[in-house]
């Protein structure tokens, strides 16, 4: 939580000064994004991965029944600050957490992964296993 708190309160980004990189850390608001954030995630996804990975309509997720839902999900505050662009200003833990938040944020507005079962099987003493492999 200390690392997340630093990302929320602000990290020195050179000439830009201290910048809060993530929104308030409300854990029960996981799925909810505002309209502007959904557009930002879709734009970041299209820029990074291409239009083929975007669904026709934005993804919406249901909240849990007992969630207070007063805040948006934890997300980057600036959609143009991808992890690589600010890596030099972050310590190892800040970078790892910011990258996780960024990737989950962008992925929330992408099409579901397509997997296919492919490749080798390994026969153990009592089991046969087959691991899925991601489709390119």
Domain count, the chain: 1
Q: How far apart are CA 53 and CA 65, in angstroms?
A: 30
Q: Report, as an integer, the average pLDDT of 107-113.
A: 80
Q: Is 128 helix (H, G, I), strand (E, B) or coil?
A: strand
Q: Which domain holds residue 65?
A: 2-134
61 catalytic per annotation = no
Q: Among 98, 125, 111, 122, which residue's Cα sits nearest to residue 46?
A: 111
Percent above pLDDT 70 for the chain:
72
pLDDT score recorded for residue 131: 59
pTM of the predicted structure, to 2 decimals: 0.71
Other beta carbons within 10 angstroms of residue 69's beta carbon come to 14
Q: Mean pLDDT score of the chain, rounded to an integer?
A: 80
86-107 pLDDT per residue, tens: 999 999 999 999 999 988 888 8
Q: What is the CATH number of the domain that holds 90?
A: 1.10.290.10
CA distance to 81, 82, 88, per residue, from 85 (Å)? 6, 6, 8
Which entry of 24, 49, 53, 78 is annotated as an active-site residue? 24
Please list the residues that pair with 132 across neighbouring strands. 117
In this predicted structure, the answer to whether residue 68 has a pLDDT above a threshold of 70 is no
- Using pLDDT thresholds of 50, 70 and 90, give the confidence band for residue 81: very high
pLDDT score recorded for residue 132: 60
């Amino acid at each position: 939580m200390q690392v997340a708190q630093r990302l929320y309160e602000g990290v020195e980004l050179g000439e830009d000064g201290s910048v809060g990189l993530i929104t308030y850390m409300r854990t029960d608001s996981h799925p909810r994004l505002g309209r502007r954030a959904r557009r930002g995630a879709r734009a970041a996804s299209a820029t990074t991965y291409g239009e083929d990975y975007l669904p026709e309509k934005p993804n919406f997720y249901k909240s849990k029944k007992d969630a207070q839902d007063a805040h948006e999900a934890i997300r980057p505050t600036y959609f143009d600050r991808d992890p690589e662009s600010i890596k030099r200003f972050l310590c190892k833990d800040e970078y790892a957490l910011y990258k996780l938040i960024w990737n989950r944020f962008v992925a929330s507005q992408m099409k579901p992964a397509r997997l296919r079962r492919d490749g080798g099987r390994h026969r153990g003493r009592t089991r046969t296993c087959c691991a899925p492999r991601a489709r390119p």
